[in-house]
Structure 1
């Protein structure tokens, strides 16, 4: 594939894009970034790979539905309208109960007798595809056992542009390939278990500050519109879209659009993002649902590609909806084309059938809004008193898996020989992070506090603990079993008592510290979701420096949501080991004992870079509005250079690089070999779609759509599809009512004719042109265990694309290999055409430049043992 225009080795591609970014240094002296319109909204492809059977079933089902039933399926019933965090209306005539949508990406939020899994970030640190898949499958099993239809995860947005961003821990890594693997395996696992996965948040949702106007105003910020993430076309494709493309390739059934704006157009009505990038270019066949209260318009969001409104009401418990009766009316008067409503319903039902669900669904057996066994099924209206929680235990044997992931996701950052422990004479454990929350592990709603050991962040991405094994409890049990002396001080502030304890002879001091963050609706100690800084919480750095000044064998364990600043103490000779244990979930203590005592030989790798200073990361959270009362503007001017890519470009020293991690044994790398495949030339996609399918006529008599009060009683604040009057203007309550679709909507918004396929899209393959995933090269290397104990090693394959605007190296593949002492295993990695391509903004396609390309196999992004030039 030859470059189309300006993708030469000495100059990067143009930044001109469908979503145009016009940067300047000063607000008010530049045009704001804009998002170009793209219409019509693409309709489903009946021949899409992996979707054919689901499409046929969905078509059969949807063709029987009335207009009201289709609206009911696409609109949430309102916050607290039923049992789950989100539900759409039922279709009782066709035997379909209300679909249940439930958080979170690490377990089932707000229920009991469920598991609390390690975070996505901790799972990514395993660099183990199989473990990530098993985690997804186990979460899917638990969701299915609760009656959940759609599990709101996994997360690729935030990707992790800024280390202080509050929800990075819900995702996997700031590297798009590692996150892409996390998304692919998680989607496969969840959906193989029979539950629809929901990849979120699409796209550019990289911080908590200013994501919602009401939330920001509640914190005293005077803004009228949410933050705009301003991202150029090249960066969008090469960085932020990459893992979502992998989710689409995995067959993900749903994708959640984000709160913030993208190039000054709201994420859930951004036609460039939803219609073009996601549905047109990536060929996404599932449905797009809004984040909760992220919908800002009715007809406009429908034609821009939104397929489902969540939770259905405009504002929680308002009883008003942009869709519901307004969508009914919009279809009746022609503002929203019939094909668009049909396509919404088709996409939803196809996702249901794709994962093996049917209309004969198990009942929902819990209530997110009521914790007692009995209570109202309509919590917001306090109506329908009955048994709402059946306390179904869905955990199975998942505790063993959680322990394995948490241990294999623990990164050994430093070890001068003190680990693994072997029946130490005297163990002293120091720090609040080793112990329990005195009020219980679930005392703070959605984990909105930091007391005791940290095993997950806060916000909607959480789950209730069925139990939490603290490090103190597990370490004490191990010490008793070994016959060791054991004492612990579970506070960071008992300075004199701590000094007296760790100053004794024969002490192995283990200091536990943490750093927390979460979602923006919760403020913990002034951290409004995003972290205020990258230091350890509760004077953790001072605690470490004190203990290590008194004890020459100090081991540090960090539970955190991302990197922290280690600069002041990491190289102290008295600090003999440092471990990052991430957010390990319910088996926290057992997992850290497994690693400290060598029951698990560590092989985890850091999924992010540990910089020496906060400033060394480049991009940072925008903490203050910068555009007056209007939308704060966050320009992604660093392009693809985040995390290790930025450090490499700036040639900045790091404490521990991306991909770094130690073992209790040693490995040697040798004998790199490159084999070129016989992949053919790249052929851009041509042709066009079929016309939009529709499913029959419907009555235009508004009296047929009035609320059927004789059939059932109206529930307060519940969102229905029915009209309340036959006067269309009164029914809409819209000051613009009466405008035609041509006056109200952008050009082509209602066009149902065949549409041209983009050259980068797949003909029938979700995820893009099939040839992007052709294997171009296979790279092998020999890895030898030169130590005395069995261990696992994570060889990593990086590529240098050679262009002036390319990162120095980029991760492209990896494996986790178990190797016995003295034995050699072969690493085998592949490079696809996508792996070797850049996005050409003029051609609007992926191209392989003529620049010389090199491959590296090594043990981290900066320890690249082996190198070869691609032939």
Structure 2
């Protein structure tokens, strides 16, 4: 067996890390092959039939991207022209279509979490899926559960949902269902432990002046991995997600896209994931190593963006021909990709991409990287439909009312409305004037980076408030806006005349490849941006009816002003998308009664959240070591553990009405005793024979595109075809033990075909509670169920169930939910299985993590 210099370098680095006694990720081989169990059976059958008719080169072609900027999408695989199949299109983002036109700018994931509304999560997923589908996209690169939100200032937290695994898992699953019901493949990302932008890629970090040679290692213990970071990916797998993106960071000093433990063991073996694993762009670090460790698709295919070389493509063909990689492994990669394709109905819905990610011009080069083949690129297909309605509703239903001293809702008889702060107004460069939203000009409606989309328009708060007064007011209200955060004298003047001063402030964050005002993706601190705090203090000093509205990706420090008596209301509006102004006006003027709950904790200090985000290299020139020493105690769990009083707790949110909780009842349900999974898998199927090198020479009659990544050989001399100076070095001993073994493999105790051992998802208890609207207007309440698992060093309580219900004045609603075995279990490291400990379990129900008026102890469970 042969390995090249790339694999040898990676293995050498790993052994050096071991010598330093750094965190270690144990090997797990072979990479599990797809089984087609459950609702994957028909897709699996069709995929096997399709792949059985492919040549080795064709199989390789659908696993390898064609190269950065070589096709219209941010990533495209090769196709199978002989069978009329063009390459598969992968496109950002988790909130819309990045780098496109005539498409929508949706609310961010964090806003979806703030709604606590499963139905809205599904509707948003469906709407985004429809838009991607109609633009010719096969795989939408979202939703996000990594980052989960370990660090409150983490740059990309807003792309995901919440720092709680249950809230994130439910919203992720509903999003996936909506996307895939629309006929496109969802991609759950970034797997796993991707909790900060600093040091996520060594090259990017070097560009910021950090002298490191390896990406950051997220060092996570087994219990924390299962109970926190892996939890929402279980829900994604149970929702049938077609693909999972592995992350830039290392996990226990092994890169996410060739980490055999996380990919082979956790994802494919334990969770029974049936879809395919794709690399993040530039996260593919080895050829044979990544193949055997469980990577199924290389995106965008090149070693570095714009490079003419690939770890796969020709090199993957060679690795099968020379016997380094067994053909069953490449067969499995192709089957997983095609099974996801068939499962969501891509063969029924598919249209070629009708836009270009690289230019908004109507005509341009098809192969943008190398300026070849001038064609019509952008067909300007409008895919927006009526999705503005969903975006507007999510924006209003995610607005959290944090404080209200009778100031809200506003009436249409206000004498003088002052609109203060740059966050109320327009970006002078235009809504899309900063590439990938990489600035903080004007109102903030999404963060920055690859997780963005172009706005078709952006309704600012200033525009919407003025339109509201003009269209519905009495014709006598004065409205004035000051949208310069440093014009404090003008702000003071307007505030002193206003009957109500509406102050708009923000804080921003995003992806690490963009630096905004010294924030390298992650926020430098948790304060408001620009001159926001001075705007608030100036306005509130001059107006005793000041209302603060915040657009932020997460919590900010509000301790200096939140309890000011002149500040009569505070709202958090998150990152609401294109309908931002209309959404906030709906809440301010009472068309929508706020029912949102904060999906994170608002602490008094940054220190209250626990360990700081890693911003200094701490391992010489090697991989910075980010030790997840806080374990499962993240966000509200940390505050509970330290008995730290938050300003606004996780799950908190006010309404224009009031609610009462009563009559908690718990009923045991019949369920079979839990049994660990046993037995073995079937052996790996091999769907073809590779043949000889001469069968894979570059075909005649194909117009060869410069730097395009092909699966073909240039010579029957495999060493010359590989362009690898170390090819031919005898490295048989570097193939991990068992990595090429296609025989039947033992099943893990916690494993199952869809998210783990099926008994984990048996219902053990039914829980009911009565919720009464004790106010005078209809409103939404979010009943939240928490569980104390008991035991030493366990969280005080953990969220396990929730819903959002609408209740009329005086109406009583009985809320009913269930608790599964998984909900009551802990991960037991010695047995490598979930167990319900003997510690006393207790259920709490209420309106937030700190307002839980109902509680009851649970009977013991075997």
Q: TM-score range by the shorter chain?
A: over 0.9
Q: When the two structures are superposed, what TM-score results if normalisation uses the length of structure 1?
A: 0.95
Matches within 5 A, 1:396-795: 396-423=385-412, 424-480=414-470, 481-482=472-473, 483=475, 484-504=477-497, 507-700=499-692, 702-708=693-699, 710-739=700-729, 742-762=732-752, 765-795=753-783
Is 1:230 the equivalent of 2:222? no
- Per-residue CA distance 1:225-264 (angstroms, 9 max, x = gap): 0100000000000000000000000000000000010000
Distance 2:239 2:129 in 1: 15
Structure 2: distance between partners of 1:561 and 1:645: 20
Within 5 A, what are the aligned runs for 1:56-205?
56-205=45-194
1: CA distance between counterparts of 2:793 and 2:741? 39
Partners of 2:729 and 2:673 in 1: how far apart?
50
- State the partner residue of 2:12: none
Does the CA contact (< 8 Å) of 1:164 and 1:620 recur in 2?
no
Separation in 2 of the partners of 1:417 and 1:589? 22
Q: Distance in 1 between matches of 2:661 and 2:156?
A: 36
Q: Choose which of 854, 858, 871 in structure 1 pairs with 2:842.
A: 854
Give the conservation status (yes or no) of the 8 Å contact 1:434–1:512: yes
Q: 2:299 aligns with which of 279, 298, 310?
A: 310
Unaligned runs of 5+ in 2: 1-16
User: Aligned partners of 1:30, 1:264: CA distance in 2, in Å?
Assistant: 11
Q: Does 1:340 align with 2:332?
A: no
Contact 1:95 1:360 in 2 (8 A): no
SS in structure 1 of the partner of residue 38 of structure 2: coil
Indicate the residue corresponding to 2:261 in structure 1. Answer: 272
Q: Distance in 2 between matches of 1:132 and 1:426?
A: 38
Contact 2:133 2:350 in 1 (8 A): no
Give the drift of 1:742: 3.8
- SS of the residue aligned with 1:351? helix
Cα gap change, 1:660 to 1:66, in 2 (>3 Å): same
CA distance in 2, matches of 1:766, 1:45: 11
Which range moved further: 231-240 or 732-741?
A: 732-741
Distance 1:360 1:132 in 2: 23
CA drift of 1:711 comes to: 1.1
* Cα offset, 1:703, TM superposition: 2.4
Moved more, 271-280 or 488-497: 488-497
Taking the TM superposition and a 5 Å limit, the aligned residue runs for 1:825-840 are 825-840=813-828
Offset at residue 543 of structure 1 (A): 1.2
Aligned counterpart, 2:9? none
CA contact (8 A) 2:496 2:543 kept: yes
Q: Within 2, Cα distance between the matches of 1:242 and 1:526?
A: 34
Question: Does the CA-based 8 Å contact 2:548-2:571 persist in structure 1?
Answer: yes
User: Contact 1:548–1:575 at 8 Å: present in 2 too?
Assistant: yes
**What's the Cα RMSD here?**
1.2
In 2: Cα distance, 1:213 partner to 1:814 partner? 40
- The CA distance in 2 between the partners of 1:395 and 1:803, in whole Å, is 51
**1:357, distance to aligned residue in structure 2 (A):** 1.3
Q: Determine the C-alpha separation between the residues in 2 that align with 1:802 and 1:365.
A: 55
Quote the Cα distance in structure 1 between the aligned partners of 2:445 and 2:69. 28
CA 1:742/1:622 → structure 2, altered by over 3 Å: closer, same or farther? same
Match of residue 831 from structure 2: 843
Give a deviation string over 1:106-141, Cα, whole Å, max 9, x none.
000000000000000001100000000000000000
CA drift of 1:736 comes to 4.2
**C-alpha contact (below 8 Å) 2:194/2:249 kept by paired residues:** yes
Deviation at 1:439, TM superposition (A): 1.3
Contact 1:76 1:310 in 2 (8 A): yes
Work out whether residues 427 and 479 of structure 1, in 8 Å CA contact, stay in contact via their aligned partners in 2: no
Residues 705-743 of structure 1: per-residue CA shift (max 9 Å, x gap): 2212x3112111110001122222222233443356742
* Distance (whole Å) between structure 2 residues aligned to residue 806 and residue 791 of structure 1: 35
Contact 1:44 1:343 in 2 (8 A): yes
1:800, 1:810 within 8 Å by CA — same for their partners in 2? yes
Q: Determine the C-alpha separation between the residues in 2 that align with 1:395 and 1:865.
A: 44
